[in-house]
């Protein structure tokens, strides 16, 4: 199984450490990223066309400047003409009237040309600005859409993954993938992918224009291009490595934050603030180091690139000057080349810089795709079983189950619960009771044997249909932020507010709900922080009831509720369990006494089963467990040590 | 914008680096300005006798030398400026986390973790960009602007005036658009935080979501939040997307005007052709500072908006802190005295505790019994100052808890909280949570007393077993026992068990209570529970009802009195009798 991140048993590796990634693929990940862009390809094409048009204007501007130079400003100029003009300016009368007139017509002609060029210049600038605004907004629109799709894809994928995956990956890391990493992909996308097309075009255009003007000079400049390519390739892997480290350390920061903020109460109770700050400094420092390595690499890269550009300028001045002296090129060409040189190197250097920014996107994309490649094995089969009617028969057939290889939690477990029956599961801690509840609604798949609901293997069931019918109240009550109503119906719109209230009335949760200032619309903080543990459990209970399941699985859910509340709940439970198959895990034997059958587990094996009375008569493990509870609680005054043999 | 000052203050401690960077940046800029001058001379020399091959070589060598120094100094300033910005990023994140840890539990209950994560990464990144890139752009723009202007003035003051044409417009634009941009950036960052929050909460509650097949509903909610973010981002893009091009447009107009008038000046011989070319190069250089203004507005507004959001947290008052004259106590032992304590949470109207008075004697064990929501956990929170009790209500060793150093208070108390939160670390490290340097024997001993040792021995990796986030890979009972071991390891003078035996089976609970009997000798001990069994051995038992103490006494005394305790006892007794009856029935059946 491809493992996303560290997980258990990593020797010398903590839970928060991620594996390093191996080889670097560009094309593979770029192609996958491109898939998200396909729905917006028309928009992107439109942007590219606009960018190309803008590039055309960019190209035209220096040509116009060259026209202005050649045709208006510097035609036939040179020291001779400059002297003439200077003389005209300083002392016009000293000049021959013919020369004077010639100068004046010449001047007005040139001025007209200049005027026209300036107007064209204005016009093209206006067009360019309009294009720029339109392309920028279109690009942003497409980019934000792509990012939205990618985030939704990741989110939906996360929702489907096996619970084992969540056991092995810290929340903060997954949050980083779904948010920060997507952001990194987007930033690169925006800066790179689309604009590169324009860069390529600009480069070709400029190169063509320069070749026409003087192929010799252009070829001289071209000698620098291979150098740029080689340097870019060398820096590519350096950049990627650095960016990978940045992504990895950022995920660690988030993982650390997520965990220590969730446990802030315990942190304070145990005065761990200083210790934690020290650890945070360590992680934060690693993130800083990763950023600095990345910075050093790009700081070396960029000056090298501009060095090459300015070197080319020197090359031009030297070689072009020589050509001019030899009369091979004219003054205007040389000037145009000086203009062009910026434009020639602009796209090349941009492209190489973008190629390296792209490494940041790929480094983030890699991690996202590894997450997306994480296969969910717990899914509905191709031709899923969808029942017409539901009875609620639950069977375990020789079930063997392990969370970690070679550490079986359940061994060859078999039992059958007829529809409407209530079964209780008892046993010492670690006997595998909770695991049973995890298997009925197929949170995990068994290694051997089968779990059947209504005679059909849960693996054959349509997963949604199965889980709709099996409600599980877990050991850890999880309460979401939102309102009380939101928490009870969990966004399931088919559950009416009235149903919520009815359910709350049955579990008696309505008592504290109605005491809250805003009753059912009362705001609930993250993890239900503004309610007591007992109240949270009542809420979870109400939630299960509101979903009106055919099979109810209760895992020690009554443990934190006081006697009176527990009494209320037991009344409710009785109502709840009638006509419903129920599996109840509890340590308090008194709460499960009324079960139709009791399963006694020991180390993952079923050692006894049968109704309460029958089991007592057997004088087996249940008998012992029962009397332990019974003796210590019935003889109110006797102290436990009195019972020590 | 003003909020950014706070970020800039972090620069102070890195001033030597900044000075180096500044020097390098100014050097690069100055040297860059030489190139147009060289080109000007070059063109003016073109076609004159001065234009020799030696002259050509000299000029190109000069340009090469210039470029080399530019390369070196550019590397230097990038490294220092951007490097410093990463330092600021690191320092702010550290202070942010430090402050978060100081904020009270009440604050954390209201703030979502996902939002705080977004602040520590996404928002902080915007601040870093403003500090690093913003600073570079600012220095660069100001310097280049001034120098270019001087150089241009040198060539022609008339033309320079034309070049300055866009300045007032850009200023107006910056002021008006900046404000809008700031607001929209803030919306965008908030929307981003909402998205982060939702992912964070969904992943935390994935079991429940999958269990109730609500994946699609949560995805829909997520989609809604994403759409908000989308809209916010587009709104920013519209404002910013207009701003950049408009500045560009203004600058281009100025260039166009200059092309005409500059060309005219050259035609009329007011300036030489070479001067015109150089002027134009400077003009293109000065276009950059104008553009930079646009970027600066973007960076500063975004960074400012984010810093404001960060400041909301960093300025939040850690309402629970040491009083100026707080007393340091080596160790507290009890008694704990509570006098007429009234307490209500800020966001509720009903008081949770009402006129509560009780004394927990030194070295004695007190049981606290009460129903769900009766205020048991609140009372414990107040003892630990997780929430602050009013002054003059809670006294440890005769000193008002508000006058004690929080550190010395919490140091003396070992607590097993109701929610046995564990960290994704090894079991050993979880037990040694409050004392990371604890020797192995102590960890082992704590695990023995809490009846955890057998479980640990059963794990292939023993004490080094990783427990997963919140301890998911352990069973509920194992988690509670780890939490008990964690408290016992500290060997505190005051031990509090807050309903912390609930997930543990009776057999183990008995064993733990038995072992605790030795441990708690001489310790002031509070055992909170709703079950008579757990507290009945206590030296004194108090009954908490609706935030009031309604009864107190020993088990035997309370059983005799009319009230909740006797009521609970009878109820639990009745249940037991029923069980006994059935059991006897069963036993006689066997016979």
More confident residue, A602 or A372: A372
Looking at chain B, the whole-number percentage of residues with pLDDT higher than 70 is 95
CA B547 – CA B354 distance, rounded (Å): 5
Report the DSSP beta bridge partners of residue B288. Answer: none
State how far the Cα of A399 lies from the Cα of A436, in Å rounded to an integer. 10
**Spatial CA neighbour of A521 closest among A560, A553, A489:** A489
Q: Is A244 helix (H, G, I), strand (E, B) or coil?
A: helix
Contact A491 B269 (CB under 8 A): no
What integer pLDDT is reported at residue B292 of this predicted model? 78
**C-alpha span between B523 and B514 (Å, rounded):** 15
Beta strands A605-610 and A470-473: pairing type? unpaired
> Nearest CA to A324 among B540, B552, B55?
B55
**Cα–Cα distances in angstroms (integers) from residue A502 to residues A513, A522, A563, in the given order:** 12, 17, 23
pLDDT digits (tens, 9 = 90+) for B480-519: 889 889 888 888 888 888 877 766 766 677 778 888 888 8
Same domain, A226 and A283: yes
For residue A194, is pLDDT > 80?
Answer: no
Chain B positions touching A310 (Cβ under 8 A) are: 35, 63-64, 66-67, 70
What residues contact residue A217 under an 8 Å CB cut-off, 6+ apart?
Answer: A210, A316, A319, A320, A323, A329, A333, A337
Judged by a CB distance cut-off of 8 A, whether residue A464 touches chain B is yes
SS3 content of chain A, % helix, strand, coil (to 5): 65, 10, 25
Q: In three state form, how does the secondary structure of B384-449 look?
A: CCCCCCCCCCEEECCEEHHHECHHHHHHHEEEECCCCCCCCCEHHHHHHHHCCCCCHHHHHHHHHH
Quote the CA–CA distance of A277 and B93 in Å, as a whole number: 11
Nearest to A628 among B203, B506, B530 (CB): B506
Number of domains into which chain A is organized = 2
Residues A311 and A435 in one domain: no
Of residues B219 and A66, more confidence is placed in: B219
End-of-domain residue from the set A344, A373, A402: A373
CB-based contact, A640 to chain B, within 8 Å: yes
Answer whether B372 sits within 8 Å of A637, measured CB to CB: no
pLDDT tens readout for residues B291-300: 777 788 888 8
From B324, B255, B321, B244, select the one nearest B285 (Cα to Cα).
B255
- Look at residue A384 and tell me if it is in a domain: no
In angstroms, the CA A320 to CA A330 distance is: 10
B66, B35 contact by CB (below 8 A): yes
**Candidates A118, A179, A619; nearest CB to B259:** A118
Element (H, E) at B176: helix B166-204
Q: pLDDT tens, A244-267?
A: 899 889 988 988 888 888 888 888
Spatial distance between the Cα atoms of A168 and B472, rounded to a whole number of angstroms: 10
Q: What is the mean pLDDT of residues B76-103?
A: 90
Whether the predicted pLDDT of A62 surpasses 70: no
Q: In the listed set A373, A403, A424, which residue is the last one of a domain according to the structure?
A: A373
d(CA A471, CA A551): 6
Residue A346 shares a structural domain with residue A399: no
State in Å, rounded, how far the first CA of chain A is from the last one. 53
User: How does B340-378 read in b/e, with b if 16+ C-beta sit within 10 Å?
Assistant: ebebeeeeeeebbbbebebbbebebbbbbbbbbbbbbbb
Q: Which of A329-333, A613-617, B391-395 is predicted most confidently?
A: B391-395
Q: Taking CB atoms and an 8 Å cutoff, what residues of chain B touch A260?
A: 101, 423
Q: What is the rounded CA–CA span in Å between residue A476 and residue B503?
A: 11
How distant is the Cα of A148 from the closest Cα of chain B, in angstroms?
Answer: 6
Q: Same domain for A223 and A348?
A: yes
Q: In angstroms, rounded to a whole number, what is the distance separating the alpha carbons of residues A367 and B254?
A: 48
**Nearest alpha carbon to residue A562 among B591, B377, B551:** B377
CB contact under 8 A, B117 and A257: yes
Q: What is the pLDDT of residue B589?
A: 45
Can you tell me the ipTM of this complex?
A: 0.84
In a domain, A387, yes or no: no
The one-character DSSP state at A402 is E
Helix runs in B111-165, H state only: 113-118, 124-155, 157-163
Put simply, the chain A residues between 378 and 397 with a CB less than 8 A from any chain B CB are none
- Residues A246, A343, single domain; the answer is yes
Average pLDDT (B440-463) is 87
Q: Give the nearest partner residue to B105 out of A264, A288, A302, using CB atoms.
A: A264
- Do residue A467 and residue B195 have CB atoms under 8 angstroms apart? no
Confidence of residue A645 (pLDDT cuts 50, 70, 90): very low
**3-state SS record for A109-178:** HHHHHHHHHHHHHHHHHHHHHHHHHHHHHHHHHHHHHHHHHHHHHHHHHHHHCCHHHHHHCCHHHHHHHH
Residues B373, A86: C-beta atoms closer than 8 Å? no
- pLDDT one-digit tens code per residue, A513-522: 888 788 888 8
Nearest to B370 by CA among B225, B556, B228, B550: B550
Residue B555 CA to its chain's centroid (Å) = 47
The answer on A273 and A232 residing in a single domain is yes
Question: B182-218 burial, b if ≥16 CB within 10 A, otherwise e?
Answer: bebbbbbbbbbbbbbbbbbbbbbbbbbbbbbbbbebb
Q: Is residue A233, in this structure, part of any structural domain at all?
A: yes
**Tens digit of pLDDT for each residue in A378-423?**
888 888 888 888 888 888 988 898 887 777 888 888 888 888 888 8
Within a domain: A385: no
The Cα A40–Cα B120 span in angstroms is: 32
Q: Does A496 touch chain B (CB under 8 A)?
A: no
Do both A345 and A447 map to the same domain? no
Question: Which residues numbered 3-62 in A keep a CB inside 8 Å of some CB on B?
Answer: 8-9, 14-16
Peptide bond into B342 cis (omega under 30): no
Q: What is the mean pLDDT of residues A483-505?
A: 84
Within 8 A of B424 by CB-CB distance, chain A residues are: 14-16, 170, 259
Q: Are A513 and A616 members of one domain? A: yes
Average pLDDT over residues A194-205: 78
Residue A431 falls inside a structural domain: yes
pLDDT higher than threshold 90 for residue B362: no
- Cβ separation B101–A480 shorter than 8 A: no
Query: In DSSP terms, which residues pair with A600 in a beta bridge?
Result: A426, A608
pLDDT in tens, B527-545: 888 777 778 788 889 888 8
**Number of inter-chain CB pairs under 8 A, A vs B:** 533
Domain range enclosing A288: 27-373
State whether A336 and A410 are in the same domain.
no
What digits encode the pLDDT tens for the residues B575-588?
666 655 555 555 55
Q: Which domains does chain B have, with CATH numbers?
A: 4-314 (1.20.1560.10), 336-418+493-590 (3.40.50.300)
CA torsion, ordered B343, B348, B352, B357, to nearest 10 deg = 20
- Asked if B466 lies within 8 A of A295 by C-beta distance, the reply is no
- Are B205 and A480 inside 8 Å of each other by CB? yes
Range A615-621 average pLDDT:
79
Residues A293, A407: one domain? no
Higher pLDDT, B379 or A639: B379
pLDDT > 70? residue A634: no
Separation CA A478–CA B201 (nearest Å): 10
Convert the pLDDT of each residue in A96-133 to its tens digit. 777 777 777 777 877 888 788 778 877 887 888 888 88
In this complex, the residue of B211, B248, B411 whose CB is nearest that of residue A129 is B248
- A288 touches B: beta carbon within 8 Å: yes
A75, pLDDT greater than 60 = no
Q: Are B121 and A254 in contact (CB under 8 A)?
A: yes
pLDDT score of A5 more than 50? no
Shared-domain flag, residues A364 and A470: no
Stretch A7-28: mean pLDDT, rounded?
60
Which among A155, A181, A333 is the top mutation candidate for probing chain B, defined by the most B β-carbons within 10 Å of its own β-carbon? A155
- Per DSSP, the three-state class of A509 is coil
pLDDT at A627 (0 to 100): 67
Q: Are B547 and B374 in contact (CB under 8 A)?
A: yes
Per DSSP bridges, beta strands B336-343 and A551-555 are unpaired
Residue B1 distance to chain A (closest CA, Å): 24
Exposed (0-12), middle (13-18) or buried (19+): which is B451, by Cβ within 10 Å? buried
Provide the mean pLDDT of chain A: 79
Q: pLDDT digits over A308-329, tens only?
A: 887 787 788 888 888 888 888 8
Binned at pLDDT 50, 70 and 90, residue A291 comes out as: very high
| Distance of alpha carbon B562 from alpha carbon B349, whole angstroms | 31
Chain A residue closest in CA terms to B499: A560
pTM assigned to the model: 0.81
My answer on whether A364 and A456 are in the same domain is no
In a domain, A451, yes or no: yes
Looking at per-residue pLDDT, the higher value among A16 and A225 belongs to A225
Q: Is residue A386 part of a domain?
A: no
CATH number for the domain including A290? 1.20.1560.10
Q: Is A511 part of any domain?
A: yes
- Distance, CA of A134 to CA of A128 (rounded, Å): 10
Q: Across residues B45-72, what is the average pLDDT? A: 80
Asked if residues B501 and B512 have their Cβ atoms less than 8 Å apart, the reply is yes
Our CA-based measurement puts residue B28 at a distance from the nearest CA of chain A, in whole angstroms, of 11
A617 shares contact with chain B (CB less than 8 Å): yes
* Residue B54, number of CB atoms within 10 A of its CB: 9
CA distance B189 to A270: 34
> In B141-165, which positions are buried (b, 16+ CB within 10 angstroms) versus exposed (e)?
bebbbebbbebbeebbeebbebbee
The span from the CA of A177 to the CA of A18, in Å, is 13
Higher pLDDT, A466 or B588: A466
Report phi then psi at A552, rounded to 5. Answer: -110, 125
Query: Between B506-519 and B476-488, two packed helices, what is the crossing angle to 10 degrees?
Result: 0
Of residues B196, B202, B502, nearest to A179 (C-beta)? B196
Q: Taking 70 as the threshold, does the pLDDT of residue A591 lie above it?
A: no
B548 and B358 in contact (C-beta within 8 Å)? no
pLDDT confidence of residue A2: 38
Nearest to A311 among B67, B264, B386 (CB): B67
Q: Which residues contact A42 (CB under 8 A, 6 or more apart)?
A: none
Through-space distance between the first and last CA atoms of chain B, rounded to whole angstroms? 87
Measure the CA–CA gap between A238 and A359, rounded to whole angstroms. 9
Give the whole-angstrom CA distance, residue A67 versus residue A56.
16
Question: Alpha helix (H) ranges present in B315-388?
Answer: 376-383
Say if residues B106 and B346 touch (Cβ distance below 8 Å).
yes
Q: Which residue has the tokens 């975004």?
A: B302
Output the pLDDT for position B565.
Answer: 83
Say whether pLDDT at B282 is over 80.
Answer: no
Q: What is the mean pLDDT of chain B?
A: 82
Give dist(CA A448, CA A437) in Å, integer.
17
Domain with residue A470: its CATH number is 3.40.50.300
Provide the shortest C-alpha distance from residue A43 to chain B (in Å).
Answer: 15
């Amino acid at each position: 199984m491809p493992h996303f991140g560290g997980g258990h048993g990593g020797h010398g590796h903590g839970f928060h450490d991620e594996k390093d990634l191996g080889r670097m693929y560009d094309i593979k990940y770029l192609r996958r990223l491109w898939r998200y862009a396909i729905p917006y390809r028309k928009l992107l094409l439109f942007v590219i066309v606009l960018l190309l048009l803008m590039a055309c204007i960019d190209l035209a501007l220096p040509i116009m400047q060259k026209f202005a130079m050649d045709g208006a400003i510097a035609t036939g100029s040179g020291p001779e003409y400059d002297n003439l003009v200077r003389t005209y300016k300083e002392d016009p009368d000293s000049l021959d009237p013919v020369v004077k007139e010639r100068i004046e017509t010449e001047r007005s002609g040139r001025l007209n040309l200049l005027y026209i060029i300036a107007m064209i210049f204005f016009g093209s600038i206006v067009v360019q600005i309009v294009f720029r605004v339109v392309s920028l907004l279109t690009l942003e629109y497409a980019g934000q859409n792509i990012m939205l799709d990618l985030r939704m894809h990741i989110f939906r994928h996360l929702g489907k993954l096996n619970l084992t995956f969540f056991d092995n990956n810290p929340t903060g890391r997954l949050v980083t993938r779904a948010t920060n990493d997507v952001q990194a992909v987007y930033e690169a996308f925006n800066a790179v992918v689309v604009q590169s097309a324009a860069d390529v075009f600009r480069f070709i255009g400029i190169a063509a224009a320069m070749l026409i003007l003087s192929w010799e000079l252009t070829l001289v400049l071209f000698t620098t291009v291979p150098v740029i390519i080689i340097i870019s390739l060398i820096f590519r892997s350096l950049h990627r490595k650095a960016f990978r480290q940045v992504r990895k350390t950022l995920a660690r920061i988030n993982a650390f934050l997520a965990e220590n903020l969730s446990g802030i109460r315990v942190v304070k109770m145990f005065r761990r603030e200083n210790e934690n700050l020290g650890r945070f400094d360590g992680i934060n420092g690693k993130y800083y180091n990763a950023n600095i390595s990345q910075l050093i690499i790009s700081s070396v890269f960029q000056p090298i690139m501009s060095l090459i550009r300015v070197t080319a300028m020197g090359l031009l001045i030297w070689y072009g000057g020589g050509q001019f002296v030899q009369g091979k090129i004219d003054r205007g060409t040389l000037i145009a080349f000086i203009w062009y040189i910026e434009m020639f190197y602009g796209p090349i250097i941009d492209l190489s810089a973008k190629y390296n920014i792209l490494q940041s996107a790929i480094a983030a994309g890699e991690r996202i795709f590894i997450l997306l490649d994480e296969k969910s094995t717990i899914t509905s089969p191709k031709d899923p079983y969808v029942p017409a009617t539901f009875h609620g028969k639950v069977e375990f057939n020789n079930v063997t189950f392990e969370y970690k290889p070679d550490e079986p939690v359940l061994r060859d477990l078999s039992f059958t619960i007829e529809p409407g029956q209530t079964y209780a599961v008892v046993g010492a801690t670690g006997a595998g009771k909770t695991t049973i509840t995890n298997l009925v609604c197929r949170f995990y798949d068994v290694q051997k044997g089968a779990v059947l609901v209504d005679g059909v293997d849960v693996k054959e069931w349509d997963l949604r249909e199965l889980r709709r019918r099996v409600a599980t109240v877990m050991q850890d009550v999880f309460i979401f932020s939102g309102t009380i109503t939101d928490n009870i119906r969990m966004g399931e719109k088919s559950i009416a507010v009235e149903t919520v209230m009815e359910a709350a009335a049955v579990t008696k949760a309505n008592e504290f709900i109605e005491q809250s200032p805003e009753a059912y619309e009362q705001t609930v903080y993250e993890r239900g922080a503004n309610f007591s543990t007992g109240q949270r459990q009542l809420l979870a209970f109400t939630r299960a009831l509101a979903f009106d399941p055919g099979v109810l699985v209760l895992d020690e859910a009554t443990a934190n509720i006081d006697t009176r509340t527990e009494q209320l709940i037991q009344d409710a439970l009785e109502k709840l369990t009638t006509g419903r198959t129920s599996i109840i895990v509890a340590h308090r034997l008194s709460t499960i006494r009324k079960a139709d059958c009791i399963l006694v587990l020991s180390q993952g094996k079923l050692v006894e089963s049968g109704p309460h009375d029958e089991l007592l008569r057997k004088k087996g493990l249940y008998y012992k467990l029962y009397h332990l509870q019974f003796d210590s609680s019935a003889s109110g005054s006797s102290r436990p040590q009195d019972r020590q043999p | 914008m003003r909020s950014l000052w706070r970020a800039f203050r972090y620069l102070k401690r890195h001033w030597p680096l900044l000075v180096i960077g500044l020097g390098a940046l100014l050097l690069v800029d100055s040297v860059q300005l030489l190139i147009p001058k060289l080109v000007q001379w070059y063109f003016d020399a073109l076609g004159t006798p001065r234009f020799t091959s030696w002259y050509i070589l000299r000029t190109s060598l000069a340009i090469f030398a210039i470029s080399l120094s530019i390369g070196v100094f550019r590397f230097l300033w990038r490294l220092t400026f951007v490097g410093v910005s990463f330092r600021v990023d690191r320092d702010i994140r550290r202070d942010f986390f430090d402050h978060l840890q100081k904020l009270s539990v009440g604050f954390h209950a209201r703030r979502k973790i996902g939002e705080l994560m977004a602040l520590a990464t996404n928002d902080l990144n915007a601040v870093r960009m403003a500090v690093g890139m913003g600073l570079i752009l600012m220095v660069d723009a100001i310097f280049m602007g001034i120098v270019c202007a001087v150089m241009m003035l040198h060539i022609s003051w008339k033309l320079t005036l034309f070049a300055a044409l866009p300045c007032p417009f850009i200023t107006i634009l910056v002021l008006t658009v900046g404000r809008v941009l700031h607001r929209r950036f803030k919306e965008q960052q908030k929307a981003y935080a909402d998205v982060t929050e939702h992912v964070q909460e969904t992943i935390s509650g994935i079991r429940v979501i999958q269990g109730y097949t609500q994946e699609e509903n949560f995805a829909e909610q997520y989609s809604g939040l994403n759409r908000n973010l989308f809209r916010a981002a587009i709104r920013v893009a519209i404002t910013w997307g207009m701003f950049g091009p408009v500045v560009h447009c203004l600058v281009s107009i100025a260039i166009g005007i200059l092309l005409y008038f500059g060309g005219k000046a050259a035609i009329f011989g007011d300036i030489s052709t070479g001067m015109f070319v150089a002027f134009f190069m400077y003009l293109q250089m000065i276009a950059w500072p104008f553009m930079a203004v646009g970027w600066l507005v973007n960076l500063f507004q975004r960074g400012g908006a984010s810093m404001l959001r960060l400041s909301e947290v960093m300025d939040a008052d850690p309402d629970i802190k040491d009083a100026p004259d707080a007393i340091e106590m080596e160790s507290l032992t009890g008694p704990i005295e509570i006098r007429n304590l009234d307490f209500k949470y800020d966001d509720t109207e009903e008081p949770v505790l009402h006129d509560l008075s009780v004394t927990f004697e030194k070295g004695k064990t007190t049981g606290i019994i009460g129903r769900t929501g009766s205020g048991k956990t609140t009372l414990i929170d107040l003892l630990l100052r997780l929430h602050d009790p009013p002054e003059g209500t809670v006294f440890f060793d005769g000193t008002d808890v508000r006058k004690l150093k929080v550190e010395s208070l919490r140091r003396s108390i070992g607590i097993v909280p109701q929610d046995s939160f564990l960290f994704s670390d090894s079991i050993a490290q979880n037990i040694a949570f409050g004392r990371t340097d604890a020797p192995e024997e102590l960890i082992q001993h704590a695990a023995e007393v809490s009846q955890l040792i057998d479980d640990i021995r059963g794990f292939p990796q023993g004490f080094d077993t990783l427990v997963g986030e919140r301890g998911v890979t352990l069973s509920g009972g194992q988690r509670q026992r780890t939490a008990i071991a964690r408290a016992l390891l500290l060997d505190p003078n005051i031990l509090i068990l807050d309903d912390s035996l609930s997930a543990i089976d009776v057999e183990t609970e008995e064993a733990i209570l038995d072992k605790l009997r030795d441990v708690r000798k001489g310790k002031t001990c509070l055992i909170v529970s709703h079950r008579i069994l757990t507290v009945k051995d206590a030296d004194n038992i108090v009954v908490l009802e609706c935030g009031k103490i309604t009864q107190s006494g020993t088990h035997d005394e309370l059983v005799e009195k009319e009230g909740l305790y006797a009521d609970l006892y009878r109820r639990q007794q009745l249940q037991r009798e029923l069980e006994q009856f059935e059991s006897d029935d069963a036993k006689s059946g066997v016979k």
